Structure 1
């Protein structure tokens, strides 16, 4: 295979478009869904052109990934998908497929891990891919072969934008989230360690476990680190994306018609 692989985080794209359309809806739910499907398909067509993709896939989430089994509170406070949208997902899949993009809905795996696995396979073969999502979890994957594109801001994300947004280098994002936590996904982090403290610790230590003995940190912070190390390890597993998912298909099958 050669070319450019377009990797669409399907529900991320759909839910953002649906949120706007449902708020502006003045007709029936069916009319709104049809309009929304058309907008999603149009977005997919635009993304093919923007990325100059030769291969493409839109990945949906499976029911319960390994993270739900590993940590029972994972995404526990997240609002459920609206029933109107949930009952219409097949229509969205058909709309995407009509653009020539392959649709993949795993049984259990999360879209993030599937996308990360595909991007990693491409990069290891020195082939290019573009991930389309507003999910910050893809940012650690960014490298010379993997781009991340925000469709709604119309921009590619880069190392400079990561430092501006999070105050840490890209290579330290997973450590940062594992310490400070991620409320959107109910990932705990270390209790009592906020964004500023996490940034300070990361700026001083390549290995977070060494920070427990750092006397330039307050006694209270060192105590929080010591007592919260188990949560840090749990959180680090949760925020990192897997790149070893068994896909069951080849990259050649994703060629655009």
Structure 2
């Protein structure tokens, strides 16, 4: 059997399920956490079965990744994790491990960078892998060996769905986000460049440098780009997932028993 790697964005899965269960007011806190853990474990079992995975890992976020040091306002407006959920994470990790899936929590790195690194390493060795997450940051990495699955919509994301959602091709996403910014993560983008202008720029030019050299480009757009290239570069770093993290473990250690 060919290896098939399942990569689960653990907190993405847990927080989405928790958000639904937290509205069930007729349960005590302890009951709600127990039910939520059970639902997460059930989701993991369904994913193992539907993916025909031979190897699997659920990755949590480390404490504070390089992005917080690189840009001080990164995710600064995001609401903190509910304390009850934070206190129960150890229970969720146990529930996932009981399904046979390896749980990994890096010291500082974000789960997205760890998962992107694993996906890249696997695909480089022609090993198919499925990333389970609703995080759009994984979309630029979709390819012959990397697929992205939205568990909640029961949908595999592809290049057509990317174009329909963002108005740009997959390989233009990073530049598009670097220009337009990303409010959910407090990534600034280029001041004065909105979604439509960002779409036009990445669809009409092979690079921002080429756009700046075009005499026919609207002066106001050109001035905004020229005055804010530093934020464009910063934003591009922030929206780009790393694929070179030193993991400290091998694919063999993720084999399902």
- Give the TM-score taking structure 2 as reference length: 0.98
Query: Partner residue of 1:86?
Result: 86
Question: CA 1:248/1:2 → structure 2, altered by over 3 Å: closer, same or farther?
Answer: farther
Query: Partner residue of 2:225?
Result: 225
Query: Partner residue of 2:51?
Result: 51
In 1, the alpha carbon distance for the partners of 2:244 and 2:122 equals: 13
Tell me by how many angstroms 1:250 deviates: 0.7
Tell me by how many angstroms 1:213 deviates: 3.0
**1:49-88 CA deviation, whole Å, 9 max, x = no partner?**
1111010000000000011111111000000000000000
2:106 matches 1:97: no
The runs of 5 or more residues in structure 2 that have no matched partner are none
User: Secondary structure of 2:188's match?
Assistant: coil
User: Secondary structure of 1:241's match?
Assistant: coil
- Give the TM-score taking structure 1 as reference length: 0.98
The runs of 5 or more residues in structure 1 that have no matched partner are none
Tell me by how many angstroms 1:215 deviates: 3.1
Query: Partner residue of 2:200?
Result: 200
Matches within 5 A, 1:137-156: 137-156=137-156
Question: CA 1:251/1:25 → structure 2, altered by over 3 Å: closer, same or farther?
Answer: farther
Matches within 5 A, 1:111-122: 111-122=111-122
In 1, the alpha carbon distance for the partners of 2:116 and 2:70 equals: 19
Query: Partner residue of 1:17?
Result: 17
In 2, the alpha carbon distance for the partners of 1:25 and 1:130 equals: 35
In 2, the alpha carbon distance for the partners of 1:25 and 1:5 equals: 37
In 1, the alpha carbon distance for the partners of 2:248 and 2:102 equals: 14
The RMSD of aligned alpha carbons is 1.0
Tell me by how many angstroms 1:204 deviates: 1.2
